């Protein structure tokens, strides 16, 4: 059966790419523990009333000198109790700066506008961004800024969703897996993607780039900013595996929320570069054939190529996750890997088919966008 052999071939191609990325070893410039720039942490918050309080608590518990960082939250037209929670936090933390956006965005997404306002009002030479549903470890700021040098323009970081139950555990594996692939490409000097809940960059580069107004509309503003800084400024991008800077974000509560988030990532990501699009296609084809592979048993008598493709599939994804096992914990990785490996091909197949044959609209923070 032609499809069976195609499954084997594309699984081999995927395996070779995963092997290269897993074996890649990042080289970072020497860290300077005495480098203490003024840092501005900027958070765009929309309907984060239940999570923004703990997020800010974790930020004001940083081990970085208090007089060397500020926290700016931008309320992006929340319709829940986020404004009241932010006001309460401002009384608790006088150093907290709260900005409220009231005007509806026109050419950009709401988050792009909110982030742009916050960044432009920031006093720091280094901007760090996270989301209102995240918890930041005490060494998040201090552990990140030490990677900066005159040559480094952006430092991306890892995040996961914790391991409270099966679904968050699977999502944590998915986070580390996707970020692990992204960090592998950065190692080869070809950055492809990042996640804005753990991202830092130099403010002067953002302004020289023209900000999000110049970058233009995108539903993945973090990745678009990465590509802009890399392509137009020539600055180095780093993606260190550092447990001190590992961010814990809120897991999607159900499959619907999960698919909507991943659809936004997919539609925004494939527009950033041809390499990302090519990798997405390869992964989609391999995962779709993996999901359909039990049907091959109805038409084939030889199981050798099918078993070979299955082995390559399981080993490929494990290689990437195993490289970053320190972020997950080996025990957690072994506990959640099999459920993740069964879920990952399924969700990517459904997601790919829905994008090919379904609507291209993105639902994000109670808003609807059509990627351009």
pLDDT tens digits, the chain, 372 residues: what are they? Answer: 788 889 999 999 999 999 999 998 877 877 777 889 999 999 999 999 999 999 999 999 999 999 999 999 999 999 999 999 999 999 999 999 999 998 878 889 999 999 999 999 999 999 999 999 999 999 999 999 999 988 999 999 999 999 889 999 999 999 999 999 999 999 998 999 999 999 999 999 999 999 999 999 999 999 999 999 999 888 999 999 999 999 999 999 999 999 999 999 998 888 777 888 899 999 999 999 999 998 887 776 678 888 999 999 999 999 999 999 989 888 889 899 999 999 999 999 999 999 999 888 888 888 888 776
* Contact criterion met (CB below 8 Å) for 339 and 169: yes
Q: Return the pLDDT at 62.
A: 98
- Count CB-CB contacts under 10 A for residue 307: 11
Q: What integer pLDDT is reported at residue 329 of this predicted model?
A: 87
Query: What Cα–Cα distance (Å) separates residue 163 from each residue in 214, 243, 311, 317?
Result: 39, 16, 27, 19
Q: Quick check: helix, strand or coil at residue 240?
A: coil
In the numeric block, the tokens 């002067």 are attached to 204
CATH 3.40.50.300 fits 39-263, yes or no: no
CB 267 within 8 A of CB 260: no
Report the phi/psi class of residue 195: left, alpha or beta, with left for phi > 0 and alpha for psi in -120 to 50. beta
Three-class secondary structure of residue 99 per DSSP: strand
Q: Residue 44 in 3-state DSSP?
A: strand
SS3 41: strand
Q: Are 162 and 220 in contact (CB under 8 A)?
A: no
For residue 81, give the 3-state DSSP assignment: coil
Residue 301 has what pLDDT? 66
Q: pLDDT (tens digit, 9 = 90+) per residue, 15-54?
A: 999 999 999 887 787 777 788 999 999 999 999 999 999 9
The DSSP letter of residue 188 is T
Domain ranges of the chain: 2-23+266-363, 39-263
pLDDT, position 51: 96
* Residue 208: predicted pLDDT: 94
């Amino acid at each position: 059966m032609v499809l069976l052999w195609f499954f084997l071939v594309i699984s081999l191609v995927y395996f070779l790419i995963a092997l290269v990325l897993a074996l890649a070893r990042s080289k970072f410039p020497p860290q300077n523990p005495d480098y203490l720039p003024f840092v501005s942490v900027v958070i765009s918050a929309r309907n984060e009333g239940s999570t923004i309080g703990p997020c800010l608590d974790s930020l004001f518990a940083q081990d970085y000198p208090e007089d060397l960082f500020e926290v700016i939250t931008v309320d992006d037209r929340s319709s829940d109790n986020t404004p009241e929670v932010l006001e309460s936090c401002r009384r608790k933390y006088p150093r907290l700066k709260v900005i409220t956006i009231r005007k509806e965005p026109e050419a950009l997404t709401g988050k792009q506008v909110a982030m742009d306002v916050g960044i432009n009002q920031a006093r720091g030479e280094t901007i760090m961004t996270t989301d209102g549903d995240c918890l930041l470890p005490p060494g998040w700021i201090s552990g990140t800024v030490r990677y900066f040098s005159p040559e480094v323009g952006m430092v991306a970081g890892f995040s996961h969703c914790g391991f409270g139950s099966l679904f968050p555990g699977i999502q944590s594996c998915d986070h580390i897996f996707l970020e692990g692939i992204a960090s592998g490409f950065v190692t080869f000097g070809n950055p492809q993607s990042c996640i804005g809940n753990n991202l830092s960059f130099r403010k002067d580069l953002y302004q020289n780039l023209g900000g999000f107004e110049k970058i233009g509309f995108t539903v993945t503003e973090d990745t678009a900013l990465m590509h802009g800084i890399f392509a137009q400024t020539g600055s180095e991008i780093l993606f260190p595996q550092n447990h001190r800077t590992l961010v814990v974000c809120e897991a999607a509560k159900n499959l619907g929320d999960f698919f909507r988030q991943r659809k936004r990532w997919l539609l925004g990501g494939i527009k950033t570069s041809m390499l990302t699009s090519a990798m997405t296609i390869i992964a989609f084809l391999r995962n779709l054939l993996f999901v359909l592979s039990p049907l091959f048993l109805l038409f084939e008598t030889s199981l050798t190529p099918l078993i070979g493709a299955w082995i390559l599939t399981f080993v490929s994804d494990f290689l990437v996750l195993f490289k970053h096992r320190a972020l997950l914990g080996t025990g957690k990785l072994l506990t959640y890997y099999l459920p993740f490996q069964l879920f990952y091909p399924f969700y990517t197949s459904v997601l790919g088919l829905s994008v090919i044959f379904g609507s291209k609209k993105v639902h994000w923070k109670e808003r609807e966008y059509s990627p351009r």
